[in-house]
Structure 1
Amino acid sequence: MLKMPRLGETMDEGKVVGWLIQPGDAFKRGDPIIEIETDKTIAEFPALGDGTLHDIIAVVGDTVEVGQPLARIDIGIGPDWTAEDGDMPAEEPAVPAQVTLTAMVETDLDMPRLGETMEEGRVSKWLKAPGDSFARGEAIIEIETDKTIAEFPALMEGTLVSILRGDGEMVAVGQPIARIAISASDALDVKTAEAEAPTKPYSAPHVQTEIQDRAAATDGPVRATPVARRLARLHGVDLQSVSGTGRRARVEKADVLAALSGTPQANGKAPDDVLFADLPRGRMAYLDTGNSAGRTVLLLHGFAGDRTTWAAVASGLKRAGHRVLIPDLPGHGLTQIAASAAADLSADLAAFLQRVAPAGSFDIVAHSLGCVAAVDFAVMVPDRVDSLTLLAPAGLGPEIDGDFVRGMAQATVAAEVSHLLRRLSVNPVQLSDGALTALAADLAKGGLAALASAIAGPSGQKVDCISKLEKLAASVGTRVIFGLEDRIIPWRHVTSVSPRVAIHLLSRSGHMPQWDQPKDVLDILLSERA
């Protein structure tokens, strides 16, 4: 039985954020198997031994006390590494000192990979000192990544011989952080696992230069809690611009929420990185980020959204070397062009692209109602579109949550907006009271009322792009991504698309896959085009 582990001394319970393996999957010691949220962190917990997952007891969203069952697993004939009440099983009776059970050897302890996207981590705190022994499953080091701060448990028993990288140092995944003494058999297992695992070329000078450049540009790394980092990524807040009120100026969740209160959505002012294109029908606001020489990706938001809804995806595309263009569509954000019909959303895209990217082809990624604009635009310029990716697209079937559409168009107070936003994502959409009030005040102006009436009526959706999408799929690589927990548009609408369209269904995602599972969305976008 796999039980809820104790990820910190003060932890009494944890929330299941996600299962990283499925029933029937086999795993090796060190493989991440479950993502757990505590009151302090969100961390991927690695298996402390080999085994197979039989069935899941605690599903995503369940809060489980330390030591209570999470899943049934088969550990074969090997030693029982599963935890009892969050701790390791009692040790075997002591063996007389004169009997040597196994030879001990020294080996490197490398920076572990705590998540699939992790490339480096910061040594936050050593929990053991040189000369200290540790048991399998005992926390030995606290590591900070861009997503979390987590205590990493020992995968075998041994002794910490020496520390190679001290507190605060940034280390690339796979590079030594300490010397440890472990049994020869355990060392052989570690080396065998390393030999079998696919490796990624590592360039120490490049990593060190990147770290030095970052430190020079920011006067040191930003200290922030995992929740604050996640919230900042979700809403596109630069942590460098946030003043931390926590211990040693650490940025807390409340600090990010306070910063959100002063975002462009709240005070009506354009941030420095927003550009404007003067088009025949008016001014269009947009972001232009990433590598200007890289592949161009055009991101189109959905109804009642704006450029900021793509923060996490845009950041990932930028890191991958792409140029990313994100306009505020007509009727939305800071764009000064009205929209009273779905066709208005795509009417200015040709002029916009002619202005900011007149040559070459591009990939289009769109969400919800923005997918209708993307399809209309791609039909006009199919020779310039290399691929088309539609997230939770409108226009594929009649059903839609009309109350949500009308609610966003008619909301006047913060509480209404707060309730409506909860329908979008399987994860809470957290905005400060100030940001919610400002958003409600903007919606109360009625700028989306005509568009809402044009896209959703008593019988459902008033937009249809099935035939256009079928035509496009014959010449343009096309794919659709839907969350299986979408409460706005049913994922079953994918059954109406052409068999040429690649379908991706995400099990832990609602109407905003780019919020709920940004890594999975990025993996799809960065894979070979459909």
Structure 2
Amino acid sequence: MTERILKMPRLGETMDEGKIVGFLVKPGDSFRRGDSIIEIETDKTVAEFPALGDGTLNEWIGAIGDHVVVGAPLARIDIGSGPDWTDDGGESASSPEEPAALHPARTAGSSNALIIADLDMPRLGETMEEGRIVRWLKAAGDQFERGEAVLEIETDKTVAEFPALVSGKLIEVLRLEGDMVTVGEAIARIEVATDAVVQKGEVVDPEAVAPADLPARVAQKPGASGNAGRTRATPLARRLARQKGLDINSLSGSGRRGRVEKEDVLAAASGTQADTDVKFVALAKGRVAYTDIGPKNARTLLLLHGFSGDRTTWSGIASGLRRAGFRVIVPDLPAHGLTTIDASHPEELSEFLPAFLDALSIRQVDIVAHSLGAVVATAFASAHPASVSSLTLVAPAGLGSEIDAGFVSGMAQATSAGEIAHLLRRIAAKPVELTAALAGEIAATMAKGRLKELAKAIIGPSGQRADIVASLDRQSRSKPVRILFGLQDRIIPWQQVTVLSPFIGVHFFAQSGHMPQWDETKDVLALILGVMGEDNE
């Protein structure tokens, strides 16, 4: 065994330390050059760091969340009989077994000659078609080492420093700072070892390195990857999955070779992936669609969506609660989703709950509800106080008269994808990424007209008709009641919380709109879990 220490790399000129965001391989896993092995947050970005050579992970040094100084130990790895790619200038740097790629100063007469190759504009993300050169970090004639940043590139989503995976020399800069360059177009000429360059016509996996492609089309050795057991996913997909509380390993990938893409995560978060887990229970007035995840004997949370939503709006939160060991029930409310029960008035929305929970043999629940769902939750808790252990209401309706009536009536009457796209831009602080197909599906559902009468009952001449203030005051005397509001909410003003009882806890989210469970999923999940813990004390 040839054990070496992998150190925190410098991913940018201003980087002095990095934060460990995630481990992408586990002790005992083998990996190849180009495989992403750890995710690091710097002062500028979050990036997956690729292995600069083959090896096996023996042990991670440190833990997720640790801040590690550049050059400090990250891991113990076994490099086997291969070159010491972890070397930072120590004695092994002159080992004769190392390949010519580590020694760009060798001449064409050596056993591994040098060659001039094009460095192309890399694809730094699935949606990237072009990038702008922000800054060259090397000048013509400069040498660079593997892992060293060569230039800074701006894409449609971020600015990232692009690292080299082979040592070499920058011969000529072809495109200048400020130039917008199409992916695949040559931006420079570099000198590298012949055996580090893929011949024209050969294909290199563009996801072998993150966040950037391999410079000068670096070749991969044949054979199975040591990460074969790990779900293939783009760096952005992994980051979005963590933000939205989703288990990346539970998602189906639509990318090449089953890779999980950004769109797959967004689809799962919005519930538009194939819904194979939906269940149905037949009640007297119709069929209720719902999901039921987590241990059946665990403490149970009931999640209620808002107007024009369905069970899928809670996907990220539900996944996080399940991982925390809770049972999570998420139904489609009457007049919504796949539930066949109709409703023309808010009071009718809670009528199905006693029979629904009884059919599932559930006697007590903690309720988390959003917007109009808060009216439903409060009505049920008032009528069945012993059945509800706690209430967590997100952007609740019913606290005041003001509301975006145009959003309510617009969703109820929408018939086109364009209308849906415009309306959904109002609900979250972060852009709601909606494909044309999904917008069309939502429009087709809204065009059925199931929500028209309900919309009329929600909004009166002076605004909201529902009033849950007094009921919440009573509930707060006997159980935990929490209100969560986004300060950028454009549907219901957060200032309405000023009418609430002092016994009710209120939490604000500075970077959230009407959907904090989408905008700041992790924090919302943490607060819900906090309520669960508080109630256990």
Which deviations, in whole Å up to 9, do the C-alpha atoms of 1:269-328 show, x marking residues without a partner? x83311111111111111110111211000000001111100111111101100001010
Are 1:482 and 1:513, in contact at CA under 8 Å, matched by a contact in 2? yes
Matched letter for residue 490 of structure 1: P
Match of residue 444 from structure 2: 441
Q: CA deviation at 1:431?
A: 2.1
Q: CA deviation at 1:113?
A: 2.1
Match of residue 413 from structure 2: 410
Q: CA deviation at 1:244?
A: 3.8
Q: CA deviation at 1:411?
A: 0.7
Matched letter for residue 334 of structure 2: P
Are 2:20 and 2:63, in contact at CA under 8 Å, matched by a contact in 1? no
1:245 aligns with 2:255: yes
Aligned partners of 2:245 and 2:454: how far apart in 1? Answer: 25
Match of residue 520 from structure 1: 523
Q: CA deviation at 1:250?
A: 2.8
Pairing 1:34-53 to 2, within 5 Å after superposition: 45=41
Aligned partners of 1:520 and 1:416: how far apart in 2? Answer: 31
Match of residue 457 from structure 1: 460
Change (3 A) 1:398 1:435: same
Matched letter for residue 392 of structure 1: A
Q: CA deviation at 1:442?
A: 0.8
Q: CA deviation at 1:471?
A: 1.2
Aligned partners of 2:271 and 2:310: how far apart in 1? Answer: 16
1:131 aligns with 2:134: no
User: Which of 318, 322, 325 is residue 318 of structure 1 equivalent to?
Assistant: 322
Pairing 1:197-346 to 2, within 5 Å after superposition: 220-229=229-238, 242-246=252-256, 249-253=258-262, 263=272, 271-346=275-350
Which shows bigger deviation, 485-494 or 464-473? 464-473
Aligned partners of 1:423 and 1:8: how far apart in 2? Answer: 37
Matched letter for residue 224 of structure 1: A
Q: CA deviation at 1:32?
A: 9.2
Which deviations, in whole Å up to 9, do the C-alpha atoms of 1:195-248 show, x marking residues without a partner? xxxxxxxxxxxxxxxxxxxxxxx98322112433466685979865634434x6
Match of residue 429 from structure 1: 432
Are 1:372 and 1:465, in contact at CA under 8 Å, matched by a contact in 2? yes
Q: CA deviation at 1:436?
A: 0.9
Change (3 A) 1:337 1:490: same
Match of residue 350 from structure 1: 354
Are 1:304 and 1:332, in contact at CA under 8 Å, matched by a contact in 2? yes
Q: CA deviation at 1:523?
A: 1.0
Matched letter for residue 242 of structure 1: S
Change (3 A) 1:441 1:283: same
Aligned partners of 2:328 and 2:420: how far apart in 1? Answer: 29
Which deviations, in whole Å up to 9, do the C-alpha atoms of 1:307-361 show, x marking residues without a partner? 11001111111011000010100011100100100011101111111111343x2
Where 1:386 maps in the other structure, the secondary structure is strand
Where 1:373 maps in the other structure, the secondary structure is helix
Which deviations, in whole Å up to 9, do the C-alpha atoms of 1:52-71 show, x marking residues without a partner? xxxxxxxxxxxxxx89xxxx
Aligned partners of 1:32 and 1:440: how far apart in 2? Answer: 42
Match of residue 110 from structure 1: 62
Match of residue 529 from structure 1: 534
Change (3 A) 1:260 1:397: closer
Are 1:258 and 1:432, in contact at CA under 8 Å, matched by a contact in 2? no
Q: CA deviation at 1:112?
A: 4.0
Where 2:534 maps in the other structure, the secondary structure is coil
Are 2:294 and 2:327, in contact at CA under 8 Å, matched by a contact in 1? yes
Are 2:251 and 2:264, in contact at CA under 8 Å, matched by a contact in 1? no
Where 2:523 maps in the other structure, the secondary structure is helix
Matched letter for residue 284 of structure 1: V
Aligned partners of 2:502 and 2:146: how far apart in 1? Answer: 50
Mind listing any 5+ residue stretches in structure 2 that lack a counterpart? 1-8, 22-35, 46-58, 68-73, 91-144, 150-157, 164-206, 208-226
Matched letter for residue 351 of structure 2: A
Match of residue 75 from structure 1: none
Are 1:261 and 1:432, in contact at CA under 8 Å, matched by a contact in 2? no
Aligned partners of 1:122 and 1:425: how far apart in 2? Answer: 40
Which deviations, in whole Å up to 9, do the C-alpha atoms of 1:434-490 show, x marking residues without a partner? 111111011011111111111113311111111111111111211101111111000
Which deviations, in whole Å up to 9, do the C-alpha atoms of 1:158-187 show, x marking residues without a partner? xxxxxxxxxx9xxxxxxxxxxxxxxxxxxx
Are 2:231 and 2:248, in contact at CA under 8 Å, matched by a contact in 1? no
Aligned partners of 1:436 and 1:508: how far apart in 2? Answer: 25
For these two proteins, the number of residue pairs brought into alignment is: 357
Change (3 A) 1:232 1:384: same
Matched letter for residue 130 of structure 1: T
User: Which of 482, 486, 506 is residue 479 of structure 1 equivalent to?
Assistant: 482
Are 2:238 and 2:248, in contact at CA under 8 Å, matched by a contact in 1? no
Which deviations, in whole Å up to 9, do the C-alpha atoms of 1:57-107 show, x marking residues without a partner? xxxxxxxxx89xxxxxxxxxxxxxxxxxxxxxxxxxxxxxxxxxxxxxxx9
Where 1:525 maps in the other structure, the secondary structure is helix
User: Which of 393, 396, 406 is residue 393 of structure 1 equivalent to?
Assistant: 396
Where 1:404 maps in the other structure, the secondary structure is helix
1:491 aligns with 2:494: yes
Where 2:322 maps in the other structure, the secondary structure is helix
Where 1:529 maps in the other structure, the secondary structure is helix
Matched letter for residue 408 of structure 2: V
Q: CA deviation at 1:132?
A: 1.5
Q: CA deviation at 1:257?
A: 7.2
Change (3 A) 1:414 1:474: same
Aligned partners of 1:430 and 1:235: how far apart in 2? Answer: 17
Which shows bigger deviation, 300-309 or 271-280? 271-280
Match of residue 53 from structure 1: none
The structure with more radius of gyration: 2
Are 2:334 and 2:343, in contact at CA under 8 Å, matched by a contact in 1? yes
Q: CA deviation at 1:380?
A: 1.1
Q: CA deviation at 1:430?
A: 1.2
Matched letter for residue 433 of structure 2: Q
Q: CA deviation at 1:254?
A: 5.0
Mind listing any 5+ residue stretches in structure 1 that lack a counterpart? 1-5, 13-27, 34-39, 48-65, 68-106, 116-120, 143-147, 154-167, 169-217, 265-269
Q: TM-score, structure 1 length as denominator?
A: 0.59
